[in-house]
Amino acid sequence: MTASAPFWPAFWPPFWRGFRALLPLWPGMVPFAVAYAVTARAGGLSVWETQLMSATVFAGASQFAAAGQFVGGGLPTVAGALGLVATTFLLNARHVLYGLSLSRTLPLPWGQRLVAAQFLTDEAYGVTVVAGPRDPGGLSVAFLLGAELSLYAVWNASTLLGALAGAVLPDPQALGVGVIFPLAFLGLLVPLLVDRVTLLVALVSGVGAWLLGRALPGGLVILLAGVGGAALGAWITTRRAGSRA
C-alpha cells in the first residue's frame, strides 16, 4: 500500500485474513489465559484487576509471573512490586526485536505505530512475518492488526471466563493443549529452514534456549537466544560475503 492509496476501503479484507490466520492458535490460547486468570484471582486480585492486566500488559509469560507473585502473599510490598516490574521489563524486552524486524518491511506512520505497538505479541509477530508477505495485498498494517487483535480478543475473553468461572471449569491442560504452542511456532519455523545456515541458527538458538532456560526466566531466554542466534547467522553470512568480495 502506498501512502497515497485510500486506507479504509482496503482495510477490512486483509484485516480479517490476518485475524483468521491466528485461529489455529486459539485452542492453545484459551487454557493459557484461563489458567492465568484463575491464578491471579486465587492470589487476591479482583476480577477487574485480573482483566485490566490482560487488557493493558497483554503478555502471557509476565502476567503469569505477576500472578504467581500475588499468590506469594496477597498484594506485594514496594520491593516485591518493583522486582515484579523489573521481571516484566526483562521478559518483554524481546518485543524490541519483533518491532525492529517488522518495521524493516512494514514502515508505519506514527498513529498506526502507536496502535500496533499495544497489541504486538510473539504469535502475532510470528504469523505476520511469515504469512503477511504471502497475503494478496502483501504485508500490510491491516493484516498485522487483524493478527494482533485476533489474539487480543481471545486472550481477553478467556481471561474474563477464567476470572468469573475459573473454579467450576474443568482443567483444559488435562487435554494436553499445551503442546499447541510449540507446534504453532514449529509450523512458522519449518518454511524458514531453507539452507544450512538457517538450520544451524535454529539448532544453536533452540538448544541454547533450552540450556539457558534451566537457569533463567522464559522471556529473557528468548531474548538472549534470539539475539545470539541471529548474530551467529549474520556473522556467518556477512563474513562469507566479505571474503567473496
Partner 1 sequence: MSGWLVIGLMWAVTYPARLLGLSLGRLNLPPFWLAFLRFVPVSVFAALVVPDVLGSPEWARRIVGALAGGLLMWRSRNLALGILGGFAAYWAARLAGL
Taking every pair of Cα atoms in the chain, the longest distance, rounded to a whole number of angstroms, is: 66
Residue 113 within binding range of partner 1, rule CB under 8 A: yes
Using CB under 8 A as the binding rule, the residues of this chain from 173 to 232 that contact partner 1 are 176, 178-193, 198, 201-210, 213-214, 218, 221-222, 225-232
Give the Cα separation of 129 and 135 in Å (integer).
11
Q: Could you tell me how far CA 30 lies from the centroid of its own chain?
A: 14
Cβ nearer to partner 1, comparing 7 with 89 = 89
Residue 76 within binding range of partner 1, rule CB under 8 A: yes
The minimum distance between CB 185 and partner 1, in angstroms, equals 4
Give the per-residue contact string, 122-141, with partner 1 (x = CB under 8 A; - = no): x---x--xxx----------
| Long-range Cβ pairs for the range 65-68 (8 Å, 24+) | 65/91, 65/217, 66/40, 67/36, 67/39, 67/40, 67/43, 68/39, 68/43
Local structure of 129: helix, strand or coil: helix
Cβ nearer to partner 1, comparing 129 with 149 = 129
Cβ nearer to partner 1, comparing 15 with 58 = 58
Among 34, 45, 139, 147, the residue binding partner 1 under the rule CB under 8 A is 45
Cβ nearer to partner 1, comparing 9 with 231 = 231
How many of the chain's residues bind partner 1 (CB under 8 A)?
Answer: 98
The minimum distance between CB 34 and partner 1, in angstroms, equals 18
Residue 72 within binding range of partner 1, rule CB under 8 A: no
Q: Cell numbers 508505519 correspond to what residue? A: 108
Give the Cα separation of 211 and 207 in Å (integer).
6
The minimum distance between CB 9 and partner 1, in angstroms, equals 24
Measuring CA to CA, how many Å separate 91 from each of 56, 181, 218, 244? 16, 18, 7, 39
Cβ nearer to partner 1, comparing 34 with 61 = 61
